Amino acid sequence: MSAVVWEARAADEPAQSEETAADAAADATAGGECCEKGDTTPPLELIAKTPKGGLHNPYNDDVAAMEEEGHKKYLSYSCNGCHGGGGGGGMCPPLTNDAWVYGADDDTIFRLIALGSDELQKQGYKRVRKEVVVGPMPPFGGIAKTSDELWKVIAFIRAKNPDSMKRVNTPSQ
Ligand code: HEC
């Protein structure tokens, strides 16, 4: 009998078999599905309460609509100083090509931007693609006040790199 119960749970939650009951409960309070448009949760808080692989950009249904607003935020955080004004690269990797250092999915990219490369690596992420890298990507999770702002910046990146939309929900780590 217990084997049957386990199978049913495993089918419901294939990627979360290692989760503790507390994590599962937190996930349930968050509605299970992350993330929402207009979310005022600070990025680092959202990361702390969302299991790996659980972050999804609420603007994916129409990234073009967020392109202009996202671009303004991108410039206001000075992302362009390293990645170029249109995301085409500069002294740091282009955001417009097909090579994604840690992966192209929303969850990985949100964590990279918020945590920076050093902390992301401390959390077990490895470089899976080679790009010309002069140093670590700095963390923006304390600079962006809300998760919504980061999702809009990511929507801008997607608008510039439509091909990457195919992989938004394909965690590579
Ligand atoms: C000081 C320079 C610098 C700034 C400012 C910066 N980045 Fe980066 N970024 C990097 C570096 C270096 C990497 C490669 C990281 C690595 O290999 O660990 C990177 C990687 C990335 C990647 C993954 C690119 C790929 O090809 O896989 C994304 C997405 C990204 N940055 C977005 C942003 C956004 C959005 C901002 C502004 C909020 C920003 N970056 C600001 C230096 C910077």
Give the model confidence (pLDDT) of 27-62 as tens digits. Answer: 444 445 799 999 999 999 999 999 999 999 999 999
- Between the CA of 21 and the centroid of ligand 1 the distance, in Å, is 34
pLDDT value of position 147 = 98
**Mean pLDDT value of segment 161-172:** 91
Query: What is the fold, at CATH topology level, of the domain defined by 33-167?
Result: Cytochrome Bc1 Complex; Chain D, domain 2 (1.10.760)
Average pLDDT over all residues of the chain: 84
**Mean pLDDT value of segment 133-158:** 94
HSE-CB for 123 with a 13 A CA cutoff:
16
Residue type for position 137: M
Q: Rounded to whole angstroms, how far apart are CA atoms 38 and 64? A: 17
- Between the CA of 92 and the centroid of ligand 1 the distance, in Å, is 7
Q: Rounded to whole angstroms, how far apart are CA atoms 108 and 46? A: 13
Among 25-39, 80-94, 97-111, 133-147, whose mean pLDDT is lowest?
25-39
**Is residue 7 over pLDDT 50?**
no
- Between the CA of 86 and the centroid of ligand 1 the distance, in Å, is 13
Give yes or no for residue 136 CB within 6 A of ligand 1: yes
Domain boundaries, the chain: 1-32, 33-167
Q: Rounded to whole angstroms, how far apart are CA atoms 137 and 106? A: 17
- 126: its two tokens: 């490895």
Among 14-18, 42-46, 59-63, 103-107, whose mean pLDDT is lowest?
14-18
**Is residue 14 over pLDDT 50?**
no
Question: Taking the model in full, what pTM does it have?
Answer: 0.84
pLDDT value of position 118 = 96
pLDDT band of residue 17 (cuts 50, 70, 90) is very low
Residue nearest atom 37 in ligand 1 by C-alpha distance: 79
Dihedral pair phi/psi, residue 85, rounded to 5°: -60, -35
**Is residue 171 over pLDDT 90?**
no
Taking the CA of residue 73 as reference, the ligand 1 atom at the shortest distance is 38
Among 14-23, 37-46, 85-94, whose mean pLDDT is lowest?
14-23
